[in-house]
Chain A
Amino acid sequence: MNIHIKNGRLIDPQNRIDAQQDLFIAAGKIAAVGSVPAGFVADKVIDASGLIVAPGLIDLAARLREPGYEYKATLESEIEAAVAGGVTSLAYPPDTDPPLDEPGLVEMLKHRARNLNRAHVYPVGALTTALKGQELTEMAELSDAGCVAFSQADAPLTDTRVLMRAMQYAATFGFSVWLRPQDSFLAKDGVAHDGEVATRCGLPAIPVSAETIALATMLTLARDTGVKLHVCRLSSAAGVELIRAAKQQGLKVTCDVSMNHVHLSEMDIGFFDPNCRLIPPLRSLRDRAALRAGLLDGTIDAICSNHAPVDEDAKQLPFGEAEAGATGLELLLPLVLKWAQQEKIGLPDALAKATLQPAQVLGLDAGHLSVGAAADLCVFDPEAYWKVEPGALKSQGKNTPFNGLEVQGRVRYTLVDGQVVYQSGLTV
């Protein structure tokens, strides 16, 4: 089907375009930008007057909860949430039940996602069997099955020799290793940042050194093994500083931050709000400022939603017993826009953190609008205000620390491979 998107403000972070230009789609790919290609006859015209036409968002951490946690969320519910949020590609962490440590599980997941035919799902395979941190998974087999990288998700890998060997083995085949830095001894039993709020509230705490010690270990081993390392969910100023120094020394490392940590701090825990029970913990305002500075200077490559839908029963508990996590796919766009507005960053640079740059982390030729690229698009109204409320979310997970917040930016159309997979107000 040929689609003509007209009158929109086109933003392409890779080709540095921010201008009113028409976009022409044929055979699922971008056929032309600006002027109509010869012989193009549109089957469908989308009037994007007043709207922004951007690459579809690429989310580096979205747990859709299958297999094993279907009572929290399903592929159907969460992919619906993804496309409603303009997310066209997402990386799928391996901490399912069972974890993604066998090719058959990965194939099944890919197959289910393909049948839904809406957003691209990129499984991240388990780095160790059952995420136990002891034995290596069949990474080459898992890669053939569709895994784009290997990770421990939030499971600890305490044995540094296993970590080194996992990196060596992954490096042998050129696979990426994605790790969230957290020393499991220092983080033991902790539920909040080791700072003023945890002290006042009497909450068991996780010090910043839990992050920096693990980070120093993984950076050292990445240097030694030559593995492509991606650091997930940075949370502290000291962590940002370690990554900055490593990058300056020429280490090929990338890293991301969750949108929650770009906007929130330990202060938001308030009177024990279980929606602010997150992994990693929300840290101090100083840490948040450093994360924002790290995004600006390129130390941090990408912003992800860290989508982790939690069922109501698991959240309706005292803070320390509540399950960590928050829904996020539908909030990624408005929260990136809010950050851009607060920091006075132009939209091409801001959107790059959720399109082009995560695509580069994933090694995908995506996140841009070059002729010939897959037509994965997010068409949104940057002016539309809406209030975050459980009823306004498609995700089965209704818990978010942003409940009640007025946000700006609403997706009108989402296209994947040139197909309209979401249109606001319509069931596609």
Chain B
Amino acid sequence: MKNPQLNKHGELQHLLTTEGLPVQIVRNILDRATTFLDAADGREIQKVPLLHGKSVFNVFFENSTRTRTTFEIAAKRLSADVVNLNIGLSSTSKGETLLDTVDNLCAMHADMFVVRHAQSGAAHFIARHVAPDVHVINAGDGRHAHPTQALLDMFTIRHYKKEFHNLRVAIVGDILHSRVARSQIHALTTLGVPEVRVIAPKTLLPAMVENLGVRVYHDMVQGLRDVDVVLMLRLQNERMTGALLPSAQEYFKNYGLTEEKLARARPDAIVMHPGPMNRGIEIDSSVADGPRSVIMSQVTFGIAVRMAVMSMLAGAAV
């Protein structure tokens, strides 16, 4: 089966998932992201004309302010024209099919779609149906993938830890419903992280998750022992219904990240979270705001990584 993300020259055509992404492409994205950060303090992002004259459509079938905003900022820093569409509130509620929506947007001469959709596989579906010169970036499809989030997480890990081959990384929380977790797992294993752990109750783990190349822990204290990186996941409030979890309090007691539990990790361990955080549910404020939290760096780096992905897809040389 042809890898739907690559063109016939093996270059990135779409970014749909981190699964099966060649490691060299992942490294190129991370390297390119570095060039968008000011060398002096690693913070300031310059405006560059790489996507001048190109139009980027943010097509969000599911509501999101943060992810959409970071994509918008990234596209604008690349000098692209940006169009934001919240389809969830317009076309599909009038009965227009997804395919019709995509055809219409293609007719508006978009060069790039940034897509978020509640159905797993929606980004693949859209990528199959757009014109060959249009690029699709998956900004989250159902439970399946959120590749730019995972890539910015990898960028953050590399920034603080330099190497991947000597790390222990734990992902904590609702793995079952999390597109972020799936994309993180594939990115970490692709980059050669020798030990990826997932920590969750059995109700929040998908079947045969160990086949993704992870070790499963149900006890967070054990699971955090000697890890270098803790990746927390957001817990949706609706998980308290449907018999997945009894209560937020009990979840926090067992799977919320506190200073006490974090003490099991290595002293220089970093704590990450894709946001938005539920303080007091999956993470204690003292940890979220504490010295080992790099959550705010993730947000800054996220813009650079999205700039790197967009400019690579557009074929622009840096």
List residues of chain A with CB under 8 Å of any chain B CB.
194-196, 198-205, 207, 270-272, 313, 316-321
List residues of chain B with CB under 8 Å of any chain A CB.
1, 4, 19, 97-99, 117, 119-122, 124-125, 141-145, 179, 182, 206-209, 211-212
Q: A207 to chain B: which residues have CB within 8 Å?
A: 207
Q: A194 to chain B: which residues have CB within 8 Å?
A: 207
Are A320 and B124 within 8 A (Cβ)? no
Are B122 and A318 within 8 A (Cβ)? yes
Q: List 29 A-B contacts (CB under 8 A).
A: A195-B208, A198-B207, A199-B208, A200-B19, A200-B212, A201-B121, A201-B144, A202-B141, A202-B144, A202-B145, A202-B179, A202-B182, A203-B120, A203-B121, A203-B143, A203-B144, A204-B143, A207-B207, A271-B4, A272-B120, A272-B121, A317-B98, A317-B99, A318-B125, A318-B142, A319-B119, A319-B120, A319-B125, A320-B142
**Among candidates A199, A204, A317, residue contacting B212 with C-beta atoms closer than 8 Å:** A199
Most chain-A CB neighbours within 10 Å: which of B19, B141, B182, B206? Answer: B206
Closest chain A residue to B99, Cβ basis = A316
Q: A196 to chain B: which residues have CB within 8 Å?
A: 207-208, 211
CB proximity of B105 to chain A, nearest CB, Å: 16
Are B143 and A202 within 8 A (Cβ)? yes
Most chain-A CB neighbours within 10 Å: which of B120, B121, B144? Answer: B121
Take A200-B182, A318-B117 as given contacts and tell me if A271 and B207 are in contact as well, using a CB distance cutoff of 8 Å: no
- How far is B44's CA from A352's CA once the two chains are assembled, in angstroms? 74
- How far is B144's CA from A320's CA once the two chains are assembled, in angstroms? 12
Q: B119 to chain A: which residues have CB within 8 Å?
A: 317-321
CB proximity of A8 to chain B, nearest CB, Å: 41
Closest 7 CB pairs of A and B: A202-B143, A272-B121, A202-B144, A318-B119, A199-B206, A202-B120, A318-B122
Q: B212 to chain A: which residues have CB within 8 Å?
A: 199-200
Closest chain A residue to B183, Cβ basis = A202
- How far is B206's CA from A195's CA once the two chains are assembled, in angstroms? 8
- How far is B1's CA from A318's CA once the two chains are assembled, in angstroms? 18
CB proximity of A289 to chain B, nearest CB, Å: 17
- How far is B196's CA from A370's CA once the two chains are assembled, in angstroms? 66
Q: A313 to chain B: which residues have CB within 8 Å?
A: 97
CB proximity of B308 to chain A, nearest CB, Å: 24
Q: B19 to chain A: which residues have CB within 8 Å?
A: 200
**Among candidates B99, B121, B209, residue contacting A319 with C-beta atoms closer than 8 Å:** B121
- How far is B207's CA from A200's CA once the two chains are assembled, in angstroms? 10
Are A320 and B209 within 8 A (Cβ)? no
CB proximity of A269 to chain B, nearest CB, Å: 9
Most chain-A CB neighbours within 10 Å: which of B99, B125, B182? Answer: B125
Closest chain A residue to B185, Cβ basis = A200
Take A271-B4, A316-B97 as given contacts and tell me if A199 and B120 are in contact as well, using a CB distance cutoff of 8 Å: no
- How far is B208's CA from A204's CA once the two chains are assembled, in angstroms? 14
Q: A203 to chain B: which residues have CB within 8 Å?
A: 120-121, 142-144
Are B142 and A272 within 8 A (Cβ)? no
- How far is B117's CA from A313's CA once the two chains are assembled, in angstroms? 19
CB proximity of B79 to chain A, nearest CB, Å: 32
Are B206 and A198 within 8 A (Cβ)? yes
- How far is B118's CA from A318's CA once the two chains are assembled, in angstroms? 10
Take A271-B124, A317-B98, A319-B119 as given contacts and tell me if A205 and B144 are in contact as well, using a CB distance cutoff of 8 Å: no
Q: B1 to chain A: which residues have CB within 8 Å?
A: 270-271
CB proximity of A187 to chain B, nearest CB, Å: 14
CB proximity of B36 to chain A, nearest CB, Å: 30
CB proximity of A32 to chain B, nearest CB, Å: 53
Q: B125 to chain A: which residues have CB within 8 Å?
A: 272, 317-319
Are B207 and A199 within 8 A (Cβ)? yes
Closest chain A residue to B97, Cβ basis = A313
Closest chain A residue to B123, Cβ basis = A318
Q: A200 to chain B: which residues have CB within 8 Å?
A: 19, 182, 212
Q: A319 to chain B: which residues have CB within 8 Å?
A: 119-121, 125
Closest chain B residue to A208, Cβ basis = B207
- How far is B125's CA from A137's CA once the two chains are assembled, in angstroms? 42
Most chain-B CB neighbours within 10 Å: which of A199, A207, A316? Answer: A199
Are B121 and A320 within 8 A (Cβ)? yes
**Among candidates A195, A270, A317, A318, residue contacting B120 with C-beta atoms closer than 8 Å:** A318
Are B211 and A199 within 8 A (Cβ)? yes
- How far is B208's CA from A195's CA once the two chains are assembled, in angstroms? 6
- How far is B143's CA from A204's CA once the two chains are assembled, in angstroms? 8
Q: A318 to chain B: which residues have CB within 8 Å?
A: 98, 117, 119-122, 125, 141-142
Q: B122 to chain A: which residues have CB within 8 Å?
A: 318
- How far is B182's CA from A270's CA once the two chains are assembled, in angstroms? 16
CB proximity of A275 to chain B, nearest CB, Å: 13
Q: B4 to chain A: which residues have CB within 8 Å?
A: 271
CB proximity of A303 to chain B, nearest CB, Å: 27
Closest chain B residue to A193, Cβ basis = B207
Are A199 and B121 within 8 A (Cβ)? no
- How far is B120's CA from A271's CA once the two chains are assembled, in angstroms? 10
Take A202-B144, A203-B143 as given contacts and tell me if A317 and B206 are in contact as well, using a CB distance cutoff of 8 Å: no
- How far is B207's CA from A202's CA once the two chains are assembled, in angstroms? 11
- How far is B120's CA from A302's CA once the two chains are assembled, in angstroms? 34
- How far is B206's CA from A202's CA once the two chains are assembled, in angstroms? 9
CB proximity of A204 to chain B, nearest CB, Å: 8
Q: B206 to chain A: which residues have CB within 8 Å?
A: 198-199, 205
- How far is B98's CA from A205's CA once the two chains are assembled, in angstroms? 23
Are A205 and B120 within 8 A (Cβ)? no
CB proximity of A279 to chain B, nearest CB, Å: 18
Closest chain A residue to B2, Cβ basis = A271
CB proximity of A206 to chain B, nearest CB, Å: 11
- How far is B97's CA from A319's CA once the two chains are assembled, in angstroms? 14
Are A199 and B209 within 8 A (Cβ)? yes
CB proximity of A223 to chain B, nearest CB, Å: 31
CB proximity of B221 to chain A, nearest CB, Å: 26
CB proximity of B88 to chain A, nearest CB, Å: 14
CB proximity of B1 to chain A, nearest CB, Å: 5
Closest chain B residue to A191, Cβ basis = B120
- How far is B198's CA from A199's CA once the two chains are assembled, in angstroms? 14
Q: B97 to chain A: which residues have CB within 8 Å?
A: 313, 316-317
Closest chain B residue to A316, Cβ basis = B99
Q: B124 to chain A: which residues have CB within 8 Å?
A: 271-272
- How far is B206's CA from A205's CA once the two chains are assembled, in angstroms? 9
- How far is B121's CA from A321's CA once the two chains are assembled, in angstroms? 10
